[in-house]
Amino acid sequence: MFMLLLADLDDEKEGVALLHELRQYLQLPFRLAGRSIDLSCTMGYAVFPRDAQDVETLFNTADTALREAKSLGHGSIKEYARGPWVPQTSLLLEQDLRHALEREQLFLDYQPKVDLATGRVSGFEALVRWRHPERGLVSPADFIPLAEASGLIVDIGRWVLHEACRQLRAWLDLDLPGPAPTMAVNLSARQFREPDLVETVEHSLLTHGLAPASLELELTETASMFDSARAIAVTHQLHALGIKLSIDDFGTGFSSLSYLKDLSVDKIKIDRSFVTGIAFDARALAVLESIVDTARRLNLATTAEGVETGAQLDLLRQAGCTEYQGFLFSRPIAPAACEALLRRALPPLDRGDAEDVLQEVYTTIWRKAAQFDASRASAITWLAMIARNKSIDRLRASPASMRTAPIEFADDVPDSADTPPEATDTTMQNARLDQCMQRLDGRRRSLIRTAFFEGATYEELAARVGSPLGSVKSWIRRGLAQLKACLEQ
């Protein structure tokens, strides 16, 4: 890390322009030992006297901006943004962090992971949070780097592992329907180098009576490459216990394919930076497809991170990705909300249930037709399409043979009404619905898909997105009105 002081500038714009020019030069390829080398440069900056009144505080604010820039991805430039709480010095933050574990200020949220083949929640990733009694929620971007630098990450990592295993045991004891979920826990580079890592993991599993295969440990490329010989030995030991291992944020570190061959890993997690642009950038999609194809050839599963749109999800499914997580399904949520998700899991359907499921869903939607102008064919078409899509999502929770079952509506709808002709032309209607859904903004589209096609309650949605119940209802109501208007055009 380097620090640059720019003095005698006319204004902030001049300084920012210089930073962009510097980044451009630093990212030019150069040759070293006969090889072409490419570098990336991430920058954070602060302005005196706006962001600080003295040299020490100026350094700290610039360092905070740099951490925020790193969280945005390689090559980012980020100005210092004063939030609800800004640490005055790293020393004070470290002192508070040392007490946080003792005073039970740390807690875990969990982000669901979804199996792309079945649509079921396949597991959760444990994410540590810090609720300070005076300063409120402290961003992980502020305290995780400090914990790693100070060595506190080892104690915090042990606590996260223990607490995540305890929580998984609690969910398993509920004997909920559907396949048992797995738990993913991140290992920091510092924790990965601890000599007693294998014993620590084994102890947590034995303490909570968990099968080793129910635990997935995520290590970064940087952690695994720090000492390749030891990394190979440690991953082999963990794998021998039956624990699943994955490479987190794949493609953002050293990206050496050799360690995928040598390390005993089961999965690679595709970083969100490779997912963001796949719906509109052919090159981005080509890179992602190459990663998935490489993993498949090595018999490795793949998890896509940061999935936020239905278009991204469809492309991931077509590419053969096995699992995803992201705001499209759910942001990190509290244990109670995770339990609600698990309770909603449907048992597998056999083929004889298909017609009953379709008729049940269609009947439910039809009874709501009185809320709309059912005399207009487009309104009925809309309801029929929602019913069809919701039925398909139900069937995706079934075995592979069920996912190929024909989708047809029976004629015995309630109140002696006939099935509208529009309900039979499902291919055209589904394409039209998808077209109109894509016109919605990401938040409304995600909420409508989850509410209508997955059957989530408004309360569950509010818990997922972390917003007031009234706001969620308002977003869905406006989104439905916009969707209906599009379908009636």
Q: Closest Cα to residue 147, out of 78, 213, 73, 97?
A: 97
Same domain, 328 and 364: no
The last residue of one of the domains, among 79, 102, 129, is 79
Same domain, 307 and 328: yes
Distance CA 267, CA 249 (A): 11
Q: Estimate to the nearest angstrom the gap between the alpha carbon of 488 and the chain centroid.
A: 34
Q: Estimate to the nearest angstrom the gap between the alpha carbon of 372 and the chain centroid.
A: 36
Q: Give the Cα-Cα-Cα angle 387, 392, 393 (nearest 5 degrees).
A: 100
Residue 46 maps to a domain: yes
Residue 4 maps to a domain: no
CATH of the domain at 124: 3.20.20.450
In the three-class reduction of DSSP (H, G, I as helix; E, B as strand; rest coil), residue 354 is classed as helix
**Residue 482 pLDDT:** 79
Range of the domain at 447: 351-487
Same domain, 94 and 176: yes
Same domain, 39 and 150: no
> What contacts 24+ positions apart, CB below 8 Å, involve 225-232?
225/253, 225/254, 225/256, 225/259, 226/189, 226/192, 226/193, 227/193, 228/259, 228/262, 230/193, 231/192, 231/259, 231/263, 232/259, 232/262, 232/263, 232/264
Same domain, 98 and 69: no
Mind listing the pLDDT tens digit for each residue in 257-288? 667 777 889 999 998 888 988 988 889 899 99
Same domain, 163 and 62: no
pTM of the model: 0.57
Same domain, 197 and 312: yes
Residue 196 maps to a domain: yes
Same domain, 231 and 301: yes
Residue 300 maps to a domain: yes
**Residue 351 pLDDT:** 37
Strands 244-250 and 267-270: parallel
Residue 7 maps to a domain: no
Residue 241 maps to a domain: yes
Same domain, 376 and 467: yes
Residue 190 maps to a domain: yes
Q: For the chain, list residues with pLDDT below 50.
A: 84-88, 346-381, 392, 394-428
Same domain, 117 and 179: yes
Residue 2 maps to a domain: no
297-311 as b/e: b if 16+ CB within 10 A: eeebbbbbbbbbbbb
The last residue of one of the domains, among 37, 60, 79, is 79
Number of domains the chain is built from? 3
Same domain, 399 and 264: no
Same domain, 245 and 169: yes
CATH of the domain at 404: 1.10.10.10
In the three-class reduction of DSSP (H, G, I as helix; E, B as strand; rest coil), residue 205 is classed as helix
The last residue of one of the domains, among 46, 79, 112, is 79
**Residue 208 pLDDT:** 95
